[in-house]
Amino acid sequence: MKRDRIYDFLFLGLGLLVQIVTFWISRTLSFSDGGGWLSLISGCLGICSVCLAAQGNIYTYLFGFAQVMTYTYLCWTQRFYGEIAINAYYFCTMIYGVIAWRRHLAVASDDKADSSASTALIVPRRLAPSLLAGIAVAILVGSVLAGLALSAWTDDTQPFLDAFTTIPALVAQVLMILVYREHWFIWLAVDILSVVLWLRAGDYCMAAQYAFWCANCLYGLRRWRSLEK
């Protein structure tokens, strides 16, 4: 347990360092101004939020609320309407997420009568493979339809990338709130596409944030497996 906590802090520190270095390089070499200091702040808040989520720590929501508000403004400046919609959804679902995670924390405390019960960590669950396959098909169809809608009815600058980072995220957020560990696979796909989205927008801080989030998905999957045990 102590070794896991050391790894958690080191991983968090690495993520924050990536954000700061990326911001400094992009400003110094004038690659792109992107969202300026707000991109750095939003990126650091996002790093803290996802690292705590990977640990199964309920305090992920504290940083999540702040990150959603700053990130939504950045999306508005880029006219990423799908991303704006998904972040409004994040804000609402995170309110319920706090309640849902607290219920799973209570279960953990009842099952373990040792000092580790006070670490505020959740107990993950698993999805059946057939259900996961059905969810994947639904995500694909929904993303294509959303991309067509954004392309036809809005001035979204990247409609299909926006859609394919929005619809899967809707599902992943629900699975995360319900503490199903398979949400990490969906988030990984979302984060890879989001790197491309923000690179094309010229915001390297946001691209760096999502690149780190890709690594965090793998780390989170490993940590949630250990929490199951």
Contacts of 46 (CB under 8 A, 6+ apart): 63, 67, 71, 209, 213
Contact 100, 178 (CB under 8 A): yes
User: Given a cut of 50, is residue 33 above it in pLDDT?
Assistant: yes
Look-up of token digits 């760096």 = 208
The DSSP result for 87-149, as a single string, is HHHHHHHHHHHHHHHHHHHHHHHHH--SGGGGG-B---B---HHHHHHHHHHHHHHHHHHHHH
pLDDT (mean) for 18-36: 74
Contact 113, 97 (CB under 8 A): no
Global pTM reads 0.77
pLDDT digits (tens, 9 = 90+) for 131-178: 999 999 999 999 999 999 989 998 888 899 989 998 999 999 999 988
Confidence of residue 2 (pLDDT cuts 50, 70, 90): low
pLDDT digits (tens, 9 = 90+) for 74-103: 888 878 888 888 888 889 999 988 888 887
Q: What does the pLDDT read at residue 32?
A: 57
User: Given a cut of 90, is residue 227 above it in pLDDT?
Assistant: no
Q: What does the pLDDT read at residue 109?
A: 45
User: Given a cut of 90, is residue 226 above it in pLDDT?
Assistant: no
Backbone angles phi and psi of 56, in degrees to 5:
75, 25
pLDDT digits (tens, 9 = 90+) for 191-211: 999 999 888 888 887 888 889
Q: What does the pLDDT read at residue 117?
A: 41
Q: What does the pLDDT read at residue 107?
A: 47
pLDDT exceeding 90 applies to what percent of the chain?
A: 34
Structure tokens at 133: 């396959």
The pLDDT mean for the chain works out to 84
C-alpha distances out from residue 79 to 57, 166, 208, Å: 33, 14, 20
Partner residues linked to 180 by β-bridges: 125
